[in-house]
């Protein structure tokens, strides 16, 4: 009977230590996030790190602008794919993933883009919150360019690029290549592209309403990396798109 009570107390303790939190994730952007499919490179990393930190995750998907607004209003416990530049959260975790954003144009446009400020001369479509996430030089360009737009859904960016409705898109190439598989019957994705590597790597963190949640997530992330499981998740999505 004594051992039975010990197991009961242990179970209660473990159950009480896990918190169920509402985590905000952006809209469909494979291979990072497959919306409402409970998978993706970024999704898997966040869920695994949170679990190892003793946090239970209730996913919520929405465009980044809405997620940022919800975080500021306290309607989410945590938000993925953010950092201090976004300024939407009082606390941030350690870096859990990096995106390599680039500027992309049809090669037939023959554009000259050597630095971020050169984008001012062209129509540009980027992901939501890019104007704050990509640094001050980019924000200056965005605010001074009347043909600058941000779009919540990456698939629309692919359509606009290949149909010639925009000069430049700003995106992560893994996302662009994935959505080529979905739009190839609508636009000619065989057209050669020119890639302009004018951005540094973007470090993304988890934004939290409570400092302790970010600390627990960061501890879980450290365990995920040291165990080798982080690398296994990366390998799982290495060939998610050509």
Domain identity same for 89 and 134? no
Domain identity same for 226 and 155? no
Domain identity same for 115 and 184? yes
Asked whether residue 36 is assigned to any structural domain, the reply reads yes
Residue 183 belongs to what domain range? 101-196
Domain identity same for 106 and 190? yes
Confidence of residue 238 (pLDDT cuts 50, 70, 90): confident
Asked whether residue 139 is assigned to any structural domain, the reply reads yes
Asked whether residue 219 is assigned to any structural domain, the reply reads yes
pLDDT in tens, 170-180: 999 999 999 99
Q: In the predicted model, what is the mean pLDDT of residues 102-119?
A: 98
Domain identity same for 94 and 166? no
Asked whether residue 44 is assigned to any structural domain, the reply reads yes
Domain identity same for 187 and 163? yes
Domain identity same for 105 and 93? no
Tally the C-alpha atoms within 13 A of residue 78's C-alpha that lie toward its C-beta. 29
What's the mean pLDDT when you consider all of the chain? 91
Asked whether residue 5 is assigned to any structural domain, the reply reads no
pLDDT for 18 equals 56
Domain with residue 221: its CATH number is 3.40.190.10
Domain identity same for 67 and 181? no
Asked whether residue 1 is assigned to any structural domain, the reply reads no
Domain identity same for 111 and 57? no
Domain identity same for 112 and 186? yes
pLDDT in tens, 26-85: 999 999 999 989 999 999 999 999 999 999 999 999 999 999 999 999 999 999 999 999
pLDDT for 36 equals 84
Domain identity same for 113 and 133? yes
Domain identity same for 107 and 71? no
Torsion of CA 64, 69, 74, 80, to 10 degrees: 20
pLDDT for 2 equals 44
Confidence of residue 12 (pLDDT cuts 50, 70, 90): very low
Asked whether residue 11 is assigned to any structural domain, the reply reads no
Host H or E run for residue 48:
helix 41-52
What total number of domains does the chain contain?
Answer: 2
Instruction: Report how far residue 159's alpha carbon sits from residue 212's, in angstroms, rounded to the nearest whole number.
Output: 42
Residue (of 126, 121, 99, 96) closest to 111 by Cα position: 121
Asked whether residue 110 is assigned to any structural domain, the reply reads yes
Contact 149/142 with Cβ under 8 angstroms? no
């Amino acid at each position: 009977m004594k051992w039975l009570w010990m197991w009961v107390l242990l179970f209660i303790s473990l159950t009480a230590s896990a918190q169920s939190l509402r985590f905000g994730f952006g809209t469909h952007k494979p291979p990072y996030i497959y919306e409402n499919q409970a998978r993706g490179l970024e999704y898997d990393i966040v869920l695994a790190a949170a679990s190892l930190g003793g946090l239970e995750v209730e996913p919520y998907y929405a465009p980044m602008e809405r997620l940022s607004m919800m975080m500021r209003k306290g309607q989410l416990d945590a938000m993925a794919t953010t950092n201090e530049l976004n300024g939407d959260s009082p606390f941030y975790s350690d870096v859990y993933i990096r995106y390599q954003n680039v500027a992309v144009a049809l090669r037939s446009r023959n554009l000259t883009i050597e630095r971020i400020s050169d984008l001012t001369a062209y129509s540009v479509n980027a992901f939501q919150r890019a104007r704050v996430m990509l640094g001050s030089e980019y924000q200056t360009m965005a605010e001074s360019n009347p043909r600058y737009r941000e779009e919540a859904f990456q698939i629309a960016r692919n359509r606009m690029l290949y149909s010639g409705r925009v000069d430049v898109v700003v995106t992560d190439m893994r996302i662009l290549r994935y959505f080529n598989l979905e739009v190839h019957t609508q636009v000619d994705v065989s057209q050669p592209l020119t890639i302009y590597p004018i951005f540094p790597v973007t470090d993304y963190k988890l934004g939290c309403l409570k400092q302790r949640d970010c600390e627990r997530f960061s501890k879980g992330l450290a365990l995920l990396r040291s165990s080798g499981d982080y690398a296994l998740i990366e390998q799982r999505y290495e060939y998610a798109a050509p």
